[in-house]
Amino acid sequence: MASVKDVARMAGVSFMTVSRALNTPGKVHQETLTKIRQAVETLGYVPNLSARKIRGGHSCGKTIGVFALDTATTPFAVDMQLSLERTARENGWNIFIINVFETPPSPQIIDLMLSYQPDGIIFSTMQLRIVEIPQVLRSLPLVLSNCISSEPGVACYIPDDAEGQYQAVRQVLNRGYRRPLCINLPQSNLAWEERQEGLVRALTEAGLSAVDVPQYSLSTDDAYGETVVALEQQLRGSKGKPVFDLLICGNDRIALVAYQYLLGRGLRIPVDVAVLGYDNMIGVAELFYPPLSTVQLPYYEMGRRAAQHVIESRDEPTIHRVTCPLVERESW
């Protein structure tokens, strides 16, 4: 990795001249500044923000470095990055985000992050998953948001999927529905087990046997084909109203496919079939007709709590579950 000395050598100036160019460019002659900028670009030099902290004490504030695996580029999860930045600013901290496309991040990406000398690290993901955290990052205050460390001893903020599913199914069953059909996430999805736990608890509490409730777990995240097959099997031979009065979907994508199919069969939502989703996809769930009742994945709150964890130097290296609120609309 290039250093200030490398930049100075290539530009043919002193170390102090490079320092002035980076920190107070208005005090450097334009011709010299151009040479230094060309050297910076050629060498790929990344300024070390810790030097600025030393020069100005804590006037620049402390910083949180964020590894963003899909969360900064996916509209359904961008709320997490917004909450991280807002929480940091409200507390006088800075934040910088590096998008990553693999886990663990490559050594080059880790070196880039550490060159900024962050005071804490947050690793965020769009979909709940287990991630491997390189040992070099564990030397800093470290928090995971919407993911779980493959090794213990790391603070993780994740959705409380079991309680979210339980509360949602409990409320819809309290409306009088008694013949549910479930089309679930793939069992390989980390959220599947917890949502099953919440589902079974709500069914049992309502006096329904989970064994007798028809359930389909998709084999992949491609919801279209298998959702249609599951619905066709349940509707085969039915005349008029279907045998199920409630469709519980593993996520809003499954619900979207189900809506198209059910409405195409002439069934009315919620008159003939009530539908419950999960995730509350931003800009999508409320556009269903009728609008979809679903469970909110707490991206914003997970980001806020993760940032607060770093800022307040909390010593709670465990898994913290964040409430998933029900969003009631008109599909039941």
Average pLDDT score over residue span 270-283: 92
Structure tokens at 41: 């670009």
DSSP symbols for 230-247: HHHHHHTT--SS-S-SEE
pTM of the predicted protein model: 0.80
Residue-wise pLDDT for 138-160, tens only, equals: 889 999 999 999 999 999 999 99
Average pLDDT score over residue span 318-329: 97
Above 80 in pLDDT, residue 127? yes
Residue-wise pLDDT for 176-235, tens only, equals: 999 999 999 999 999 999 999 999 999 999 999 999 999 999 998 777 789 999 999 999
Domains 63-159+299-324 and 161-295 share a fold: yes
Q: pLDDT category, 240, cuts 50, 70, 90?
A: low
The reply to whether CATH 3.40.50.2300 applies to domain 63-159+299-324 is yes
Amino acid 122: pLDDT: 97
Average pLDDT score over residue span 90-118: 90
Average pLDDT score over residue span 265-271: 94
Which overall architecture, per CATH, does domain 161-295 show? 3-Layer(aba) Sandwich (3.40)
Average pLDDT, the chain: 90
Q: pLDDT category, 55, cuts 50, 70, 90?
A: very low
Domain ranges of the chain: 4-45, 63-159+299-324, 161-295
Amino acid 54: pLDDT: 43
